[in-house]
């Protein structure tokens, strides 16, 4: 009977590990969108890092739909636009200070846009049956800001918000500090 706690703890841990590492069935062919944020102080030291799974918006839905047929998307001004053929245009990563931020699929702009920076050239890698795409941008602030939201914006004659998420909890970038935001897209993450 003295061994009972050890046995129960072992059973708990085995069950915990099995549950936390088993792949979800629906992850088989999913495309996941993650955003990683790193905050550096004025001396360049990393002081905070978070990674979230970033929700997509109606504009991304519009572009995906445009793969298959005519489609439209709402631009940053709230105007619905028919999407034409082609996706040649710059991409921006944006941060904001809105409050409250409750992301929805119909979002077309940040609640309170602070700054957008043109993203680096995207990189792509295929490993096995999986594909990864990543792109990033760096923000430098001369004064302290509390960042509460992040987004991804495509410019094609108009600005379209492709992804938008709230930072919960928010992150504070000190005066003279730097924020780097990296989007990571994992395709077929469960194959």
Partner 1 sequence: MRKSYIFLVLVILAVISGWYFGSLAKSQNTFGNGGGISVDLVVKHYRNGTLISEQYKRGDPFTKNFVLHMYGLLDGWGSSVTMQDETNNARSIGYGSLFSGTAYVGIGTGTNAFDINNYNLISPIAWVQSSATSTSSIRTNGNISFSASFSLSSAATITEVGVKVSEGGYNFLILRDLITPINANAGDTITVQYIIRLNG
Q: Are 138 and 117 in contact, with CB atoms under 8 Å apart?
A: yes
Interface residues for partner 1 in 73-132 (CB under 8 A)?
83, 85-92, 103-106, 118-119, 121-122, 124, 126, 128-131
25 binds partner 1 (CB under 8 A): yes
Interface residues for partner 1 in 39-68 (CB under 8 A)?
51-56, 58, 60-61, 63-68
- Total residues in contact with partner 1, by rule CB under 8 A: 82
To partner 1, the closest distance from the beta carbon of 173 in angstroms equals 20
Q: Which residues contact 80 (CB under 8 A, 6 or more apart)?
A: 72, 73, 74
Q: Are 150 and 107 in contact, with CB atoms under 8 Å apart?
A: no
142 binds partner 1 (CB under 8 A): no
Rounded to whole angstroms, what are the CA distances from 110 to 12, 26, 78, 91? 43, 30, 12, 15
To partner 1, the closest distance from the beta carbon of 76 in angstroms equals 16
- Looking at beta carbons only, is 6 or 45 nearer to partner 1? 6
- Looking at beta carbons only, is 71 or 176 nearer to partner 1? 71
């Amino acid at each position: 009977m003295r061994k009972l706690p050890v046995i129960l703890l072992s059973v708990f841990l085995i069950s915990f590990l099995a549950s936390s590492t088993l792949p979800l069935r629906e992850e088989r062919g999913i495309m996941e969108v993650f955003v990683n944020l790193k905050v550096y102080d004025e001396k360049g030291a990393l002081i905070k890092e978070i990674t979230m799974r970033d929700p997509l918006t109606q504009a991304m839905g519009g572009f995906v739909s445009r793969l298959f047929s005519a489609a439209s998307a709402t631009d940053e001004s709230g105007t619905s636009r028919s999407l034409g053929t082609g996706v040649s245009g710059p991409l921006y990563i944006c941060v904001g200070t809105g409050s409250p931020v409750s992301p929805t699929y119909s979002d077309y702009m940040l609640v309170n846009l602070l700054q957008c920076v043109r993203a680096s050239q995207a990189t792509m890698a295929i490993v096995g049956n999986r594909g990864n795409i990543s792109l990033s941008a760096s923000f430098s602030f001369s004064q302290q800001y509390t960042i509460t939201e992040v987004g991804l914006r495509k410019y094609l004659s108009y600005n379209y918000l492709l992804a938008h998420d709230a930072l919960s909890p928010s992150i504070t970038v000190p005066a003279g500090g730097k924020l780097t935001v990296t989007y990571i897209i994992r395709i077929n993450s469960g194959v």
